Structure 1
Amino acid sequence: MPHLIPRHVAAQVDAALADTRVVLISGARQAGKSTLVRVVAGDRLAERYDLDRAQDRAAATTDPVGLVDSAELLVIDEIQRAPELLLAIKAAVDEDPRPGRYLLTGSSRLFGMVAAPDALPGRMETIELWPFSQGELDGKPDGFVDAVFTFGPDLRHESDVSRADYAARIVRGGLPEATARTDPRRRQRFFDAYIQALIDRDVRQLSDIQHKGELRKLIRLLAARSTTIIAANSLESALGLSRPTIARYLQALEEIFLVKRIPGWSRNLGTRATAAAKLIFVDSGIAANEIATDARALLRPHAPFGPLLESFVLSELSRQLTWSEQFVDLYHYRDRSQYEVDAVLENRSGQAVGVEVKAASTVGPDDFRGLRRLADRLGDDFIAGIVLYTGTSTLPFGDRLRALPVSALWQVPAPTTDRPH
């Protein structure tokens, strides 16, 4: 990008360094972790190692205790490349428990790594960094989650964002390198190389990959089925792989932050734990590239605009949950009677907001069918049911039910008054 774009989670990293011994910034490759580290470290005295560099990785493997021995802040990029460092860091912070001793970045989830001997429980705070949000790219507040929990159905928003603009945002995605490329062909080259690099390097570190061609095909299949409930057995015939192999590959793709599973919501915690999850891509630009579509094609009849818009919205909501003042978890809802809600945002008090996504520029009562069912299930804990659509105005559709433009996600500011978490 021609200028440095501020990241919303920077404040969380600063706060964590003030009271936590080890801080890990985790997220997809090229999401901006190294740039964020440079901003946060600022004028602090700090040593730095990048484990993508062979010499730094060799030093970490040969003498992990010596490498982590630092009186100042020690920054280690791509910690998953040398997980043996974790035991040395654990010993160091147990001996000297000062906060802000280590700032780590990782492109794979440490808790999912077989090779990780210890993920520093009780000593480390993990902060997820997603690709750029729409608000970060536009210089907007990204305050929808906090605003809807505060104002509920009283939230209002008017928009001038067109369907064509939404399509352009979907195919652009939020990876810094992709957003810097205005030529769609050059962006496509980046996405293709990005996926191949993940397969060749990161996935192979996490899992025994014996069928690289089938893994590439799996990624394309997942993009075509984005926002649907994915089960390993449904992919067997298409890939010619066993269920355990497909399940292992899906897990690896989630561990490297290529895809994210959205769990099913239920009032019954036992049911919730076993409910089928649906899958989204962490970056909508990658998903669009994998199904070979562009912004113009998305606007044609029968194009996959709806599924990609839903995935885009769910990923934007996921980004906001990393910095919102409300402590909120993201689910989807589907019951045996086939009532569905694309997103359920639930706070720690059990209050919830339902969100439906519609690619149309008009909304009708039938679009609130699932939200009304969810309202019946939740009773007084139901704060609001929102249909995000590609129109321009806020529209009422009954008790606590509203239609809002999709751009409310990033253009609505968070409330400035104090509120419970």
Structure 2
Amino acid sequence: MQDIANNRPRRERKIRDSRIVSHRTGSAALDLMRQSSKTLAGRVAYVDMAPVDTEEAAQAGIADAQLWLRGGFPDSLLASDDRLSLDWRRDFIRSYLERDVPMFAPRMPAEAIGRLWTMLAHQQGGVLNQARIASALGVSNPTIDRYIDLLVDLRLVLRLGPWSGNVGKRLVKSPKVYVRDSGVLHALLELQTMDDLLGHPVGGLSYEGHCIASLVQAAGARRLPYFYRTHAGAEIDLVLEQGGRPEIAIEIKRSTAPSLDKGFGVACDDLGITERYVVYPGTERFPLRHGAGPARAGAVAARLSGARGQVCQGADTAQR
């Protein structure tokens, strides 16, 4: 018995050291799983290695506008100019369609996946109309399901589900879909410069997706992300739920002088949320309606990932 007790720390350390840590970066994660001939149940821990997000970029002194335009993949983000950055992202897209899709989904035509990816880029942040997409591609609804599932599994697309609890109101029940990396989104749409982006109709929803991807990553596995929308017009861009209870409401505005519609306040009241943020690209703090406070995406991401401190007036209100 004494020997077992003495060896226990060593045994526990050996067990911990034997665990395999999978840094999930899209297709690399699937490749690792396929190469293993033994089950990894109980011996694998997952660490999602997302592209550079707003919090990391701020810490590195990279302007959020550059991150938004070029996306978070380092070779694209740190390229010497916008043209080289776009060239890298074009090659990235091509490699996925020509190599990764045939490798992991040999029965799915890469050309159709590419067309779907581009269609989703044009509909960035919109409520998914699966029947219309299926009709445009000439395939069935279940086929579109499988195609989108693949893009989600490869971490190329973020599917944001609708919050669907019982609040006694008619709720939108279809998900929203975002191309996960803003730089890839802009490459699919052939937007090279900031002028190109700001002059394109997708600009506002591109910024929304850029912020949501970072905030969802910062929220981690403890908080489940949703959007909330009723047929009467009450809406929240991002709802974070913890323990089955809606906890945080986040509205995203690209304007440097954001304002809130009545629908945001109604939606927060529907869900009983008091911690309310408006993410926008400015730095000033000022009062807003409906108990929300303005903040940059990086500041809210820091709050979600566990950093100490208050990031905006909305946080002050919630904590009191």
* TM-score under structure 2 length normalisation: 0.79
Verify the 8 A CA contact 1:128 1:322 in the aligned structure 2: no
Letter in 2 for 1:353: I
Aligned to 1:55: none
Verify the 8 A CA contact 2:239 2:246 in the aligned structure 1: no
**Deviations 1:36-63 (Å, cap 9, x if unpaired)?**
xxxxxxxxxxxxxxxxxxxxxxxxxxxx
Unmatched 5+ residue regions in structure 1? Answer: 1-14, 34-76, 91-119, 142-160
Verify the 8 A CA contact 2:121 2:188 in the aligned structure 1: yes
129, 148, 153: which one aligns with 1:255 = 153
Q: Does 1:192 align with 2:90?
A: yes
Q: Does 1:297 align with 2:250?
A: no
Distance 2:149 2:178 in 1: 13
Q: Identify which of structures 1 and 2 has the higher relative contact order when contacts are C-alpha pairs closer than 8 Å and 6+ apart.
A: 1
319, 331, 345: which one aligns with 2:226 = 331
> 1:19-418 maps to which residues of 2 (within 5 A)?
21-28=19-26, 78-83=31-36, 85-87=37-39, 90=40, 120=41, 122-139=42-59, 166-268=64-166, 275-293=173-191, 294-300=193-199, 303-322=201-220, 327-348=222-243, 350-364=245-259, 367-379=260-272, 382-398=273-289, 400-409=291-300, 414-415=307-308
Partner of 1:396, secondary structure, is coil
Letter in 2 for 1:27: T
Distance 2:18 2:124 in 1: 37
Deviation at 1:254, TM superposition (A): 1.0
Number of residue pairs matched by the alignment: 293
Moved more, 346-355 or 221-230: 346-355
Distance 2:181 2:173 in 1: 24
Deviation at 1:310, TM superposition (A): 0.2
**Deviations 1:227-278 (Å, cap 9, x if unpaired)?**
1122321212322233222221111111111111111113249x9xx93211
The 1:233–1:400 alpha-carbon spacing in structure 2 relative to 1, beyond 3 Å, is: same
Deviation at 1:311, TM superposition (A): 0.3
CA RMSD of aligned residues (A): 3.3
Verify the 8 A CA contact 1:140 1:411 in the aligned structure 2: no
Letter in 2 for 1:254: V
Verify the 8 A CA contact 2:276 2:291 in the aligned structure 1: yes
The 1:416–1:384 alpha-carbon spacing in structure 2 relative to 1, beyond 3 Å, is: closer
Verify the 8 A CA contact 1:393 1:405 in the aligned structure 2: no
* TM-score under structure 1 length normalisation: 0.62
Aligned to 2:313: none
Distance 1:249 1:224 in 2: 17
Distance 2:178 2:18 in 1: 31
Distance 1:292 1:389 in 2: 25
Verify the 8 A CA contact 1:127 1:322 in the aligned structure 2: no
Verify the 8 A CA contact 1:171 1:289 in the aligned structure 2: no
Verify the 8 A CA contact 1:351 1:383 in the aligned structure 2: no
**Deviations 1:211-235 (Å, cap 9, x if unpaired)?**
3323222111111111112232121
Distance 2:139 2:244 in 1: 43
Distance 1:395 1:78 in 2: 48
Verify the 8 A CA contact 1:371 1:385 in the aligned structure 2: no
Deviation at 1:23, TM superposition (A): 2.9
Letter in 2 for 1:372: G
Letter in 1 for 2:163: W
The 1:209–1:229 alpha-carbon spacing in structure 2 relative to 1, beyond 3 Å, is: farther
Distance 2:81 2:27 in 1: 22
